[in-house]
Amino acid sequence: MNSQHDHILTLLRSGALEQAEKEYLRHGLDTDQSSEDVMALGGRILKARALEHDGVERQRLALQAAEKYEAAHTKFNGTFSGINTAALYLVAGHIEQAQKIARSIQTLLNRSSPKPGADAYYHMATLAEAWLILGDHHRAEHMFADAIPLDPHNYDAHASTIKQFEMLLAALDQPNEWLAQFRPPKSLHYAGHLFGLKEGKNSLDNSAIYGLEKAIDDFLETDNYGVAYGALAAGSDIIIAERLLEKGVELNVVQPCPDQLFSRLSLTPFGSGWQTRFDACIHRAASIRYVSQDETVCDSLTTTFASETAMGLAVLHANRLATNAEQLLVWDNDLTQATAGTARDAQLWQKTGQQQHVIPFPFTRNTRSNSLTKNNDTRSLKAMLFADVSGFGNLSEQEIPLFVSQILRPLAEQCHAAQAEHINTWGDGLFIVFNSVAAAAKTATDLQTSFRSINLSSAGLPEELALRIGGHYGPVHSLEDPFLHKSGIFGREVTVAARIEPVTAPGSIFVSEPFACALVLNNQHEFRCEPMPEPVFGKNTGPMTLFSLRRIKPARNQS
């Protein structure tokens, strides 16, 4: 495969559409006819751009994408480029042309013999898509139903088809409720009150615990849940996790702090039996995340951070697989202590509009408490951006004044307009801190828009210059900087934030998993966070799961 093609495809997957298109044209791939994949690349770029718009602009870009795909299909007679040609002509409003090509794709597919597994699935799903384009929704539905069992656990492939069908049904102004039966299993966030066993704090008796387990089992029987995210504190958390594992649901643990400290605070005080059950759940978990590696502090802020991350992961997983996320709480419905804990989780989830299920907590004592300390007053959750300009180091001395006046000045205007809590600069570098991820995301996308509006050639600067921005979210200290005698931002999470920007693709915005989780909980429809295909390794750091960030138009409501 063409290495330039692979590079541009990586940029596309990272969300750097403008940079991908710039590189696509710079390397002359718009005239390269060496393979179907290379020829279809222009169509993929235009399709991605079309899906970020509505109305006439979507149709205009879809038509351009269809023409690019059609050129590849005409030369190589491939079904991948062909079905995308038909689909995008439909989105562009050219229905007759779309249906003509869809019929030809059906003829091609009916002559082929797919291999078992993914090949067979895509064969049948493409036939279903062709029937949908031809207006036979009933046959498309039945053929899609036949496709799923051919590769039953390839949920990413199923989701890709569902998203394609959603695009087509939106273009046809047709309902998409019938797609619900094909969506992958739902994701779940779980949480609940702590309680002890016999000798521990706030103990529940055996009958109350049995009733709780029965209620959780009954809930899990009501729908198809595939993955779950949450912590493993004594009481509700562990009992829910045990029932999830018993039902075959994938357990993903999100812990606020390392195990030894967590055990001392959230397991041991509630009875000796919880540690063994904790260890058993950890052993069977599909993944374990620690939002803090600090062995000394696990306060209410850290647990809040872990809860936000777990909730966000559930929503991000659901978005990736075109399915739904739900929340299960064992809760007393008391909102008087909603600054942290289960009550805060309940309130934050309600703001997402996702479905919430509450199993009443079975009280046996009038008072309950936990062992977590209150948050240190100097620490709070902040969103951080690091940014620099790729190619700055290659500028000549004569170009530096132009860089400051033509690039840094408009970027500074955007930063000042954002009313950030903290700004620091050095050379081409920026460090900006915000109270919310939504404000940070807006500023990051505004900075990229401002940079892209600069005509670098007319400004006397190299066209290879590109802005890259890394974003992170986490607990930091706000303290007086003894050098500058003004408020500064300090902490381990600042170091994490600083390591993201150097591995960010030029022209794009990469954010950490906690940033993406917090954003999807607070502002789902204005921004999109797409996971990178592989973990990224930064300097002096292990693998980082990163997401590309883009601003999009408000999404249609999913049925």
Question: To the nearest 10°, the Cα dihedral for 342, 348, 349, 350?
Answer: 110
For the stretch 357-382, pLDDT in tens is 999 998 643 444 455 555 567 889 99
Class of the CATH-defined domain 3-182? mainly alpha
Q: What is the mean pLDDT of the chain?
A: 90
- What are the residues whose beta carbons fall under 8 Å from the beta carbon of 319, sequence distance 6 or more? 520
User: What is the rounded distance in angstroms from the CA atom of residue 212 to the CA atom of residue 37?
Assistant: 54
Q: Which superfamily is assigned to 379-551 in CATH? A: Nucleotide cyclase, GGDEF domain (3.30.70.1230)
DSSP state of 361: P
The total number of residues written for the chain in this structure: 559
Residue 499 has pLDDT above 60, yes or no: yes
Backbone phi, psi, residue 401, to 5°: -60, -35
Which pLDDT does position 559 carry in this prediction? 37
Question: How far is residue 24 from each of residues 8, 20, 124, measured CA to CA in Å?
Answer: 7, 6, 32
CB 204 within 8 A of CB 195: yes
16: pLDDT confidence band, cut at 50, 70 and 90? low
Domain ranges of the chain: 3-182, 186-360, 379-551
Question: How far is residue 489 from each of residues 18, 35, 383, 462, 484, measured CA to CA in Å?
Answer: 32, 51, 11, 34, 12
Task: Using CB atoms within 10 Å of the CB of residue 104, give its burial: 0 to 12 exposed, 13 to 18 middle, 19+ buried.
Answer: middle
352: pLDDT confidence band, cut at 50, 70 and 90? confident
Residue 184 has pLDDT above 90, yes or no: yes
For the stretch 217-267, pLDDT in tens is 999 999 999 999 999 999 999 999 999 999 999 999 999 999 999 999 999
Q: Which amino acid is at 229?
A: Y
Residue 88 has pLDDT above 90, yes or no: yes
Residue 553 has pLDDT above 60, yes or no: no
Alpha helix stretches (DSSP H) within 77-135: 79-91, 95-110, 118-133
Backbone phi, psi, residue 537, to 5°: -105, 120
Structure tokens at 318: 């659901």
Which pLDDT does position 373 carry in this prediction? 55
Instruction: Give the largest CA-CA distance in the chain.
Output: 80
Residue 12 has pLDDT above 90, yes or no: no
Q: CATH classification of 186-360, choosing from 3.40.50.450, 3.40.309.10, 1.10.10.60, 3.40.50.970?
A: 3.40.50.450
First to last CA, the chain: 39
CA 63 to chain centre: 29
For the segment 121-133, the average pLDDT, to the nearest whole number, is: 97
For the stretch 521-549, pLDDT in tens is 987 678 988 887 776 766 666 688 899 89
CB 314 within 8 A of CB 189: yes
Structure tokens at 201: 């704090």
Which pLDDT does position 369 carry in this prediction? 46
Which pLDDT does position 374 carry in this prediction? 57
